[in-house]
Amino acid sequence: MSGPALPAGLRKLAPAERKALWERLYFDGTEAAAAGNAGSEALELSDLLVESAVGALTLPLGIAQGFLIDGRRYDLPLAVEEPSVIAAAGYAARIVAEGGGFVTEADEPLMESYVYLEGVSAEGEARLASEGAEARIRAALGAIQGSLERRGGGYRGRRVYRLPETGLVALELSVDVRDAMGANILNTAAETVKSQAEELSGGKALMCILSNASPRRLARARFELPLAALAPFARGFSADEAARRVVLAWRLADEDPARAVTHNKGIMNGVASLAQATLNDTRAVEAAAHAWAARSGRLRSLSRYEIADGSLRGAIELPLALGAVGGSVDLHPAGKAALRLLGDPDSRRLARIAAALGLAQNFAAVLALVTGGIQKGHMRLHAARLAYKAGARGDDARRAADIVAAGGAYTLAAAEAAVASLRAGAGS
Ligand code: NAD
């Protein structure tokens, strides 16, 4: 059953009025509203960041500890609603630390933006690709990218090509966006050269827009874990056999797109949660990663594993356009706090941390899957959710979850019965 309609002119109301209306109409009482919608300071920020804000979602924020990345210890802030993501990341991080941790690297933060032109003749295309055009484009961009250039970034070159199906001509601009995610910088760059592109090509621009693909802004992470160090985590398997099964699981994900989707989703559990905690654009990061995984025309694994010299080796490579400044990142206090915890990294360091996290998340999932499955841990967390749904809070919620887990029936009815039995016990 749907709730009462919100007024059509919602956006014209004062933010506090919108929030009050939203909470009164759609939450089950003030306690639920307080748990599910953040307070008035958060509302002010939401109202600045988005249109028609009615609140700020209280997404769980947790810390995955135990990461050793390039010789340095890290605690990672993750914002995510899915149970087990943070526990799994920390679990894998601690295993990998036994072998010396993660080694990472990241490319320069190069991104591409496009002016798509229609009605361009072969001569116009050649003019746009000429050296003279290059000078004009560079000059136009130099005029708006002074601060980026002072930071070592800015325009890095262009490419002109025709798309055979639509006949559109693309002017691709490469820009080093330094510590920004870069979307606005790139869109501004394309719009800045639009008139020059039209004049030079004789065509008309259809649109000016960045691409989120970021295929030259890759980050990589790897680890090497001696099989002896894996042994305590092999859950009934020998270390050799557990490692062999991990490698086979990777080959499966690389072969079967049906498995690759979920394999890569597991990687993004970590990466997107870090992106969320730092107030980065999670959709941009997701789109780029999945496109990269499908670049051969078939969806494949973003990670890979092998056994060599008595060790299990894991590695990952993916595009990571994460901002350490700009957008909402350095505006939102939660984003700033998250970055502070990470030691105020630049965008490349942040990408390297995210790559290590993605690999840790993947290793945790694959190791669990091939050594007994993931459901047991998940169901324990599910029991806690059921207990909450059944009305239990605090210690009672933990006790009710224990009762549900011990009974093995993960249903709301079982949770309600557990809560009722606890209340009866407390009343007697
Ligand atoms: P932005 O617009 O805030 O630009 C970055 C700013 O930071 C610039 O003004 C730059 O001068 C400044 N800056 C300070 N120190 C810097 C440094 N060391 N390196 C680089 N810049 C520095 O942010 P942006 O990164 O250009 O754009 C990101 C925002 O754009 C996100 O909110 C994203 O959601 C949004 N967006 C995304 C898309 C998309 O992904 N398709 C499209 C449009 C907008």
Residue 1 has pLDDT above 60, yes or no: no
Q: Is 281 in the active site?
A: yes
Q: Is 82 in the active site?
A: yes
Please name which of 221, 243, 212 lies closest in space to residue 352, comparing C-alpha atoms: 221
* Number of helices (H), then strands (E), in the chain: 18, 10
Taking residues 110-127, report their average pLDDT: 98
Q: Is 265 in the active site?
A: yes
Its pTM stands at 0.92
User: Which of 49, 181, 347 has most ligand 1 atoms within 8 Å of CB, for mutation?
Assistant: 181
Separation of alpha carbons 125 and 202, rounded Å:
9
Amino acid at 139: A
Separation of alpha carbons 252 and 333, rounded Å:
42
Judge contact between 142 and 396, C-beta under 8 A. no
Written as one string, the DSSP assignment of 288-352 is: HHHHHHTTTSS---SEEEEEETTEEEEEEEEE----SBSTTTTTSHHHHHHHHHTTS--HHHHHH
pLDDT tens profile 213-245? 999 999 999 999 999 999 999 999 999 999 999
**Ligand 1 site, CB within 6 A:** 147-148, 151, 177-185, 187, 210, 212, 281, 284, 323, 325-328
Q: Which atom of ligand 1 is nearest to the CA of 181?
A: 25
**Considering all CA atoms of the chain, what is the largest pairwise distance in Å, rounded to the nearest integer?**
91
pLDDT tens profile 256-299? 999 999 999 999 999 999 999 999 999 999 999 999 999 999 99
Average pLDDT of the chain?
A: 95
pLDDT tens profile 66-101? 999 999 999 999 999 998 999 999 999 999 999 999
